[in-house]
A = this chain, B = another copy of it.
Amino acid sequence: MPTIMNVLFRAATAFAMAIALAAAVPAAAQQAPARAKVVLQVSDADAGKWNLALNNARNLQADLGAANVDIEIVAYGPGIGMLKADSTVGNRVDEAVGSGVKVLACENTMRGQKLTHADMLPKVGYVPAGIVEIMQKQQQGWAYIRP
């Protein structure tokens, strides 16, 4: 009988769509468990803050495992001195880079202070604008720490 086939087919279709809805909507609604990602801001001309940022990075790696957390340190404005070749924390910056931390200098700040890449610690990276980097990382779901 076509009518029974009809009813069975319709029921199966409705059931499949309900399953699809039930599967798809929670997947969209629930947050995926976030990978640990954090951007640390250094904007003070203060070696105490530079060391604190480096301690923060080290403690994050120690507690979570260095492979399980993405860490960026962004130095800009009065904080740029942390990444100059004569920085008092140069050795610690090298160690941080070696352990997987991205350490980034703001080229806007460098231009304002007439600094070139040759004036900076050899292992640091660069961003055109530290403030834009910090904003964008947050809008991409990174946590933000201002030591």
Taking CB atoms, residues of chain B closer than 8 Å to A146 are 41, 145-146
CA–CA, A36 to B14, complex, Å? 40
How many copies of this chain sit in the oligomeric assembly? Answer: 3
CA distance in complex: A98, B89 (Å): 40
Q: Please determine whether A131 and B144 come into contact, CB atoms closer than 8 angstroms.
A: no
Nearest-CB residue, chain B, relative to A16: B14
Cross-chain contact A56 with B131 (CB below 8 angstroms): yes
Q: Among B24, B43, B60, B132, which residue has its beta carbon within 8 angstroms of that of A63?
A: B132
Knowing A3-B2, A13-B10 are in contact, say whether A135-B60 is a contact too (CB < 8 A). yes
Judge whether B143 and A77 touch: CB under 8 Å: no
Query: Given A136-B143, A138-B143, list of 14 further CB < 8 A pairs?
Result: A9-B10, A10-B10, A17-B21, A25-B27, A28-B29, A41-B146, A48-B78, A52-B77, A59-B132, A60-B131, A60-B135, A63-B132, A135-B143, A138-B144
List 10 A-B pairs, minimum CB-CB distance, nearest first. Answer: A138-B143, A28-B29, A28-B28, A135-B143, A34-B139, A24-B25, A146-B146, A2-B3, A63-B129, A56-B131
